[in-house]
Structure 1
Amino acid sequence: MLTGDRAGSVQQDGLFAAGLRSYVRAVTRALRVEPEAAWCEVAEMSTAYVAVRERAIDYPNRDVMLLWDERIGWIVALEPKPDEEPVVLGHISGDVVPAAADVARAVAAVLTAQTVQPDRGPEHKADPGHVRAEILAYALPVVVEQTVQFPRPA
């Protein structure tokens, strides 16, 4: 049995995982991508992946992916071939956890750019506490939904 701080940490990790899943689902909806085309992982460095349906105008024969990690946020890249590193098409600047609609607009802008600009990477280092709070906010609807569906016995 977990007690004290460890129990609170496990519970918060579970909420963070629920929040990250909910956030990634919101991004897939905004991109009009099936949820099965995405995954996320909560670990020492939490990450997410979304397979993008559209292709970049300069790379019509290559699949595109969207990658997220809690330090830098989202990048748009070409799916790598077995013998190459991903080609980064762009970094979604601003907040590490932008609204899903903002992600979709940024992806569309990157994909329709006529030339790929070298990626400058994130504009700032993410504050881990701020990122965690933003992701945890996505867990709230999940927690409320589960509470409504599975009320605790009196």
Structure 2
Amino acid sequence: MELDFEDAAARGLRGYVRLVAEACGAGPNCSFIEWDRPLRAYIAVDGRLPGFPTRDVALWWQEEHGWAAGIETHSGQDIILLTYLGTEALPAPRVVARFLAEVLGRRHPGQPQPPALRRVTDDDLLDRLADYARPALVRHNP
């Protein structure tokens, strides 16, 4: 199942990823979204991790596991996920930015294994994403 590119949930996912990217200091062209279900998003960020001085750092979001931080491979394959933020599907952008700052600051936040698969209903996740399609003054930001 794929989201309709113009429905409220799709606009909300674009808005949410944009807000997370801004909170993390990433530029407007540093992210992309995979629209097939399960939904996924990627944000390239500045910085390096100890032990991986030649690898770019990225954030990866999956609707089932939430946000994770990882490193890029040199082969163009999937990123290597190193730590997961936690169990919340859509944490506030400032929470994701704090997680990234801790990762880059070598404080080893989060958990190395993905959280259990979420049993969130599609309607709940899509409704929460649609909230991010609304203007900032109206949106409830958890």
Deviations, residues 126-145 of structure 1 (Å, cap 9, x unaligned)? 41333222211101228x8x
Instruction: For 1:125 and 1:22, locate their aligned partners in 2 and report how far apart those are by CA, in whole Å.
Output: 22
- When residues 118 and 86 of structure 1 are mapped into structure 2, their CA distance, relative to the original with a 3 A threshold, is farther
**TM-score using structure 2 length:** 0.79
> Once superposed, which parts of structure 1, at least 4 consecutive aligned residues long, lie more than 4 Å away?
114-118
Aligned mate of 2:103, from 110, 129, 136: 110
RMSD across aligned positions (CA): 2.8
Aligned mate of 1:138, from 125, 132, 138: 132
SS state of the match for residue 134, structure 2? helix
Tell me the number of residue pairs that the alignment of Structure 1 and Structure 2 aligns: 134
- When residues 90 and 10 of structure 1 are mapped into structure 2, their CA distance, relative to the original with a 3 A threshold, is closer
Q: Identity over the aligned pairs, expressed in percent? A: 30
Q: 2:22 matched to 1:41?
A: no
- When residues 38 and 116 of structure 1 are mapped into structure 2, their CA distance, relative to the original with a 3 A threshold, is same
How far the C-alpha of 1:21 sits from its partner, in A, is 0.4
Structure 2 unmatched ranges of 5 or more? none
Instruction: For 2:20 and 2:57, locate their aligned partners in 1 and report how far apart those are by CA, in whole Å.
Output: 15
- When residues 112 and 123 of structure 1 are mapped into structure 2, their CA distance, relative to the original with a 3 A threshold, is farther
**TM-score using structure 1 length:** 0.74
* Structure 1 or 2: more helix by fraction: 1
1:20-59 map, 5 Å: 20-59=13-52
Instruction: For 2:29 and 2:69, locate their aligned partners in 1 and report how far apart those are by CA, in whole Å.
Output: 18
